[in-house]
Chain A
């Protein structure tokens, strides 16, 4: 800092000629999506989760094909352990190859998880949008319906459905989606209600856009991130639901395989052979963990409050 009495070159006291461009911003500015994606990929834990998920999917697809055994064939001696006779994970009580069963089961469980999550997300978005967008009678009726249905415990409904429809893949899917859409619907409705009053929506209406176009092209993209996050977090929940229902005998039935079936068989026979529960337990836990880690990362990345 100079002294007030210092003398300077007289030139410096000339009035500045060019106008300064003082509005240049020095920090690169990112859009919301760019910022979110950037943060997500920087999150190593979430990326590990994502990797694991992809790995599981790959294994589910090619796993059963790697071994020469069929998942439901009473191939060999029962209760063989890891590596014996060419069985990577051994065999179960009926001589079936555990590796093949595990990855066939993975197909079923993952399929159920994804399907239920996606269908519920889509249904929920649809119903929630209609309810929130049109308001009025439609909204009131739907909301009352949702309030009541929401109160019925999810597992209870699933159990009821399975008891009546009988076990199996199809009935399981139906049971899982019959009420599952509700939480997404509420979420979406809330978002739509907030957006309804925004100016750009009023503008779109004035310009004559159709209702569908307004909802899906203008509103939904705003909270798409939220939907995707909740869908990702729902997948382990549905995988668990399938496992749970199968475990208590209501879901997939043997000889079909799913993670729940394997867990059931494993728990029942763990005193005879520990690997029957160890391998499925490990894989199931890793799967759920991966989805949770990735889902956490996704949620943190999309949270506008954590924007940097």
Chain B
């Protein structure tokens, strides 16, 4: 394959040909069907897709916390040059929480309700500390971390339980937990989905500032293109277990080249659209991953589908520097199409 995603160099993480299957009672679910992406130091990469498209599973696979009896992970996960899939559990323990940390989605359920927040946050530091640390030292570290993420009154908060925190504060605590060991890579799995809309932008601001300051690579998983616009340097759109388009953030909005991406963009309710127009939504439903489509995963729902789309999975076509898309419409044999004009004009975007 000459797709450049494979040959590009990434200094922090390079995922190659990731495949994750789950064997269930009803058969085998192909949750992730060959995903490749990479991230560099200081970058923020957004993985965008609907629920069930495989983005969370991909993220969990990086840290190898996918439960491996039902799950089966294959492919290469190169972290700073080392293939994580080849490491033993003991070696992975050193990486989790120290080199790579994760921020989860729902701060209520992802915190242990019977343990004080301070204990939970310092636990991650204690686990990876090179030598014994005193209790006061730990407390001080935790309070500093609380300060950094904007938790007010950190001295008091240290001893409190999760239910005494508000949703936003809990998420800040989770962020503190992820940062305290100064990892090279943070994976944030839909960090704002469970929060109130008003808190969401605060949280995003916070994460953006921290990320830019600490120059930590951040993989941001989300289904919300609005979040992407604020935070990401680069975007990868996932559909039905495969990446359909990768591009720098600005290019995704200015020059989307995959029908699914365009569909997503069109689905954003816009203030500028006249209220008489119905809200656009992509027709159909995501495919059944027990029996994924033979060709392009999006073809069944795609307005522009051609015969080849149903029968052959499309390779990655390079569009620009760092921008590629897996769509047969980009093949030189494809008829010139009005993909851009007919669809984009809805948004008033000029191609």
Contacts and interface: CB of A to CB of B under 8 A. Distances in A.
> A contacts B directly in the complex (CB < 8 Å)?
yes
Interface of A: 1-5, 7-8, 10-16, 20, 22-23, 25-27, 308
A3 B290 contact: no
B307 A14 contact: yes
Interface of B: 1-3, 24-27, 284-285, 287-288, 290-291, 293, 299-301, 304-313, 315-318, 328, 331-335
A249 B328 CA distance: 85
A27 B288 contact: yes
Q: Interface on chain A toward B: helix, strand, loop, or mixed SS? A: loop
Given A23-B285, A27-B288, A308 B306 contact: no
B315 A2 contact: yes
Contacts of A26: 288, 290-291
B305 A4 contact: no
A25 B1 contact: no
Contacts, number: 72
Contacts of B304: 15
A7 B333 contact: yes
Nearest to A9: B308
B305 A15 contact: yes
A16 B315 contact: no
A12 B284 contact: no
A1 B306 contact: no
Nearest to B1: A1
Q: Interface on chain B toward A: helix, strand, loop, or mixed SS? A: loop
Contact of A20 (B24, B299, B317): B299
Contacts of B315: 1-4
A16 B306 contact: yes
Nearest to B308: A12
Contact of B307 (A3, A7, A16): A16
18 contacts: A1-B1, A1-B315, A4-B2, A4-B331, A5-B332, A8-B312, A12-B311, A13-B308, A13-B333, A14-B306, A16-B299, A16-B307, A20-B299, A20-B310, A22-B287, A23-B284, A23-B285, A26-B290
A27 B27 contact: yes
Contacts of B287: 22
Given A13-B334, A16-B309, A20-B300, 14 more contacts: A2-B312, A2-B315, A4-B317, A5-B332, A8-B308, A8-B312, A12-B311, A13-B306, A13-B307, A13-B335, A15-B306, A15-B335, A26-B288, A27-B27
A1 B26 contact: no
Contacts of B284: 22-23
A288 B316 CA distance: 64
A4 B331 CA distance: 7
B317 A11 contact: no
A14 B308 CA distance: 8
A202 B68 CA distance: 45
A25 to B, nearest CB: 6
Nearest to A16: B305
A13 to B, nearest CB: 5
Contacts of B27: 27
Contacts of A14: 306-307
A79 to B, nearest CB: 56
Contacts of B3: 4
B310 A16 contact: yes
Contact of A3 (B2, B301, B333): B2
Nearest to A27: B26
Contact of B25 (A4, A20, A308): A308
Contacts of B317: 4
Contacts of B1: 1, 3
B333 A10 contact: yes
A308 B310 contact: no
Contacts of A15: 304-306, 335
Residue picked from A2, A10, A14, most chain B C-beta under 10 Å: A2
A25 B290 CA distance: 10
A41 to B, nearest CB: 15
A10 B288 CA distance: 30
Contacts of A23: 284-285
A13 B312 CA distance: 11
Residue picked from B27, B287, B307, B315, most chain A C-beta under 10 Å: B307
A7 B331 CA distance: 9
Contact of B316 (A4, A8, A11): A4
